[in-house]
Chains A and B, each alone.
Chain A
């Protein structure tokens, strides 16, 4: 029996791709013949980690197809062509309205993605949602198959590598570092982070900087508008390091004092878990899957008032007792995302899925 994972694009460093890669390793450890197939494979990924779609072997009834859905793709309309057991891992699709002003292509891909989510609501034998928020989205989209929640599988041992020494040295200068990690994308609301930071820097702590780590690939127009915004605010020390090496990301986490997230659409938000791992206290706007992922840890903001956000950051930086309490809760929450726990959950869910009667999914209505 083969277990094949299918993704539209296998990118370098994004959550969906990392999840697929981690699952491939786990499935192989479970003794399955497995592989990842994609329409597009990022050249920066190690050779052989995945194959292009045309190389995918024909699947038989006993095989399992795991489809990662996060964007529009022709694959969303080809699922009926695979005559095997099918499972979907739902990572969510960015609402196209966020992207419309900046990238017609991205907007169209997300529109197609949402149409695909609806189109596939009778296709799969089972779905795994990476958060409760995603599970609710699938239920709203009319999915009737069993839907389990399984957080993204994160191999934390990778985070124990040595951080980039030059970056650590550069940002360990006594200044307060406020960090956000994630693609430069309009749904992540970098403007709200910048706005809160401007207030913090101007009214509370001039010796502070904001680091917005993440690739702006495909969202160059949004980034340009953010740069114009920074200039209009007259705020300095906002750093866009671009798409950086993994060691540099580790360095940014190691030197961060606060992780600030104002995102308005996340299916899971891996950087929150990363911040927990690196003992960086989190301040995050309560939206989409963020409260699920934080699970009562961090500090959740109910609105985006920059003055209040700046005051919360200040308190978190200066109040040792508050900081220790927030970090303690984050450590407890982090245990829920340990590799052992999530991999064992996946094994349990997948084994139960395999034991179910091997019947074809109901035809698409």
Chain B
């Protein structure tokens, strides 16, 4: 196989391409606005997505707890002051976080139940679809047999 110098081919392409700055500038992704909060909630969950549902449920199950104690980063002095601050507001914040966690646990359990119900229903629907197809086939065969009997008579 002949030796190909990829770099020289790249240089050749660079020389050959037509300069078209308008094309380069007109197509920036940044010109497409990010979605606002309201639009965001419309996109998320606007239609049934099994993968999204089960992933969200799994994540809810793993992350429903809102821990009060978190790793504190920074230098020694910063860490010290942050710890003091955490201790000071503990009486106020901790019960609130515990209530939030309890509420999250209920929500996660409810959604998980609904997701499992959907899964069971889907399996049941598939089973019924198969049964209907089988019965239709039998019905069709019986109708054909009946037609033949009538014709014979």
Contact = CB atoms under 8 A, between A and B. Distances in A.
A77 interface: yes
Interface string A93-123: 0000000011001000000000100110000
A308 B17 contact: yes
A30 interface: no
Given A115-B73, A220-B44, A307 B24 contact: yes
B35 A322 contact: no
Contact of B29 (A191, A215, A322): A191
Interface stretch (A16-24, A147-155, A221-229): A221-229
Contact of A233 (B6, B17, B27, B35): B27
B27 A42 contact: no
Interface string B47-65: 0000110110011011000
Interface in A304-346: 305-308, 311-312, 315, 319, 321-322, 324-326, 328
A324 B58 contact: no
A232 interface: yes
A242 to B, nearest CB: 8
Nearest to A41: B58
B40 interface: yes
B55 A217 contact: yes
B91 interface: no
Interface stretch (B7-15, B101-109, B128-136, B140-148): B7-15
A221 B23 contact: no
B32 interface: yes
Nearest to A196: B27
Contact of A195 (B13, B27, B43, B73): B27
A199 interface: yes
A315 B29 contact: no
Given A243-B51, A325-B1, A305 B24 contact: yes
A326 B34 CA distance: 38
Contacts of A195: 27, 29
Interface string A229-240: 100110000000
Interface string B1-41: 11110100110011011101001100101011011000010
A115 B72 CA distance: 10
A215 B50 CA distance: 12
B134 to A, nearest CB: 26
B151 interface: no
A218 B55 contact: yes
B71 interface: yes
A290 B90 CA distance: 47
A232 B9 contact: no
A339 B73 CA distance: 41
A39 interface: yes
Contact of A315 (B13, B23, B58): B13
Interface residues of A, number: 47
Interface residues on chain B, size class: 35 or more
Does more than half of chain A's interface fall in helix, strand or loop, or is it mixed?
helix
A322 B17 contact: no
B32 A232 contact: yes
Contact of B34 (A101, A199, A203): A101
B55 A198 contact: no
B40 to A, nearest CB: 6
Contacts of A39: 62
Contacts of B40: 221
Given A229-B32, A233-B27, A299 B71 contact: no
Given A215-B51, A224-B43, A322-B6, A306 B27 contact: yes
A43 interface: yes
A315 B27 contact: no
A321 B73 CA distance: 56
A219 to B, nearest CB: 10
A40 interface: yes
B27 A40 contact: no
Given A40-B62, A101-B34, A312 B13 contact: yes
B61 A40 contact: yes
A352 to B, nearest CB: 32
Given A199-B23, A232-B32, A322-B9, 5 more contacts: A217-B52, A221-B43, A225-B29, A306-B24, A325-B6
Top 9 nearest A-B pairs by Cβ distance?
A325-B4, A191-B29, A40-B58, A229-B32, A311-B13, A311-B17, A39-B62, A40-B62, A224-B43
29 contacts: A9-B58, A40-B59, A40-B62, A41-B58, A43-B54, A43-B58, A105-B59, A195-B27, A217-B55, A218-B55, A220-B44, A221-B35, A221-B40, A221-B44, A229-B29, A232-B32, A233-B27, A299-B6, A306-B24, A307-B18, A307-B20, A307-B23, A307-B24, A308-B13, A311-B13, A312-B10, A321-B4, A322-B9, A325-B6
